[in-house]
Structure 1
Amino acid sequence: MVVPEHQDSDPANVLIEKEAHSDQVDAVIKETPDQSIWVFGYGSLIWKPPIHYESKQGYWLYQELRSSILAGFQHSEDHRGTPEKPGRVVTLIPFDEWKTIEDVHGHDDVTWGVAFKIPSTDVEATRAYLDHREKNGYTVHTVDVYSAEDDQKPAVKDALVYIATTDNEAYVGPAPLEQIAKQVYETYGPSGWNAEYLLNLAEALREISPEARDDHLFDLERLVKDLINNNKSS
């Protein structure tokens, strides 16, 4: 299948988001003695990290927000899809809001991810890289992240995390898993096949820790693999 030509978002909107990112990142850097920053990655950042990082810590738990790849809430028109045929990617939503959504898998209170320490010499380059990569509805926030060994005391305070909040235009809400699986299987974008994104995410999650589970994600992975295998045999 040919990947459709990429179409950027409205440049004015991208600039507004970048300005908001810069203000928040500057505030975090000022509070850091060595002028470094931490970035928490919960989606493709787990298996496709920032270009520059000093250290990478796995087995991190992030509380208070919930990964919503489970229900495929966020459209991707710039990486894993196009405006005409958007894909589905990860975002995070507040856990209190997540609990109101019907989910046969239950409501876990953690999201697994990876924390990256970005040295001061590479902060500006990393900011520019992430602002471009996460431009389709995402804004930057600060969060505390926890290790599997101690879920009471933050292992890292004020890590930066990119979140597409529920009021952004690309947020689409829940949908049946079968519908999401079909969309993921059929969709391509400038960054590649949407199914590749999903399969890489599921595999990367398993590699973080044996304890890392996301049953909804793994069920979606199974459905997409079934579509792939059925297409091969037909």
Structure 2
Amino acid sequence: MDSPASLTALSSALEPSPNAIRLWTPEERLASMNATLHHWQPGQDIWIYAYGSLIWRPEFEYLERRLATLRGHHRSLCLWSRVNRGTPEVPGLVFGLDRGGACRGMVFKIAGDSVPDVFPPLWAREMSTGAYIPRWIHCDTPEGRVQALAFLMDRRNPGYAGGLQHEHMLAVVRRAHGTNGPCVEYVLETASALRAAGIRDMRLENFAQHLLQPH
């Protein structure tokens, strides 16, 4: 098995340079948000799909919450985090919706009248680096299919961290700490929230168990 030092070195070699990832300007975020809401009618309720921290820390009020399955993408620690759960020098990893498979998560129903207040802070949170592609997709819920806004991983973004091996991901998550706290905490909170909601993600469960083991 590789040593911790060699794992750290290899992980670092796979990371983009600190200057490769930049924060979007408020103007860029506003343009992206307006383009996404182009067909939205004022007062119309909106569903938002959640697969990670939005499940346990939505930061907005909602009318309804449902379990939901999105097909064609899966939950993955595939995005470098250089602010919230890491730093430019020691980045962490956060979840994205990467291509392939399916993902069980939740959808939140936002009142139409609240959309103008909810969306700017949501865009600041989810689209800080433009690493996601906002897209309207169909989700299956126990009460029927709904159309929801999902933030899909953009593999062309320099923050994309696909293809990391299990041990390398563990090393990255264990060492990273950002403005929102340790990366380990983020992963474990997400795993706990999924369990509480009755969502089984065996890959994440396995990863969380390895994080808790001495190393």
TM-score (normalizing by structure 2): 0.82
RMSD: 2.2
Instruction: Specify which of 28, 33, 49 is matched with residue 16 of structure 1.
Output: 28
Spell out structure 1 runs of 4+ moving beyond 6 A.
none
Tell me the equivalent position of 2:75.
67
Q: CA deviation at 1:182?
A: 1.8
1:115 maps onto 2:120 in alignment: no
Distance 1:82 1:131, change over 3 A: same
The SS at the match of 1:45 is helix
1:213, 1:128 → 2: CA distance?
31
- Structure with greater proportional strand content: 2
Name the aligned partner's letter for residue 65 of structure 1.
Answer: H
User: In 2, distance between residues paired with 1:18 and 1:88?
Assistant: 25
The Cα offsets for residues 179-233 of structure 1, whole Å up to 9 and x where unpaired, read as 2112111111111111111001111111222xx3222211110111114xx6xxx
Quick one: distance in 1 between partners of 2:133 and 2:153? Answer: 6
In structure 1, the residue matched to 2:169 is 180
- Tell me the amino acid that sits aligned with residue 69 of structure 2: L
In structure 1, what is the equivalent of residue 181 of structure 2? 192
Is the CA contact 2:90–2:175 (under 8 Å) kept in the aligned structure 1? no
> Which one is further off, 115-124 or 135-144?
135-144
CA deviation map 1:38-67 (0-9, x unaligned): 10011111111132212212x211111111
2:122 to 124, 130, 134: 130
SS at match of 1:65: strand
Superposed, 1:2-81 pairs within 5 Å as 9-12=22-25, 15-27=27-39, 29-30=40-41, 34-57=43-66, 59-69=67-77, 73-81=78-86
CA contact (8 A) 1:17 1:139 kept: no
Amino acid at match of 2:145: A
- Residue in structure 1 matched with residue 9 of structure 2 by the alignment: none
> Counterpart in 1 of 2:135?
141
2:207 alignment partner in structure 1: 220
Q: Deviations over 1:50-87 (max 9, x none)?
A: 32212212x21111111123xxx211112111121111
Does the 8 A contact of 1:76 with 1:89 survive in 2? yes
C-alpha distance in structure 1 between counterparts of 2:174 and 2:35, whole Å: 38
How many equivalent residue pairs? 194
TM-score by length of 1: 0.76
Q: Which amino acid is the alignment partner of residue 84 of structure 1?
A: E
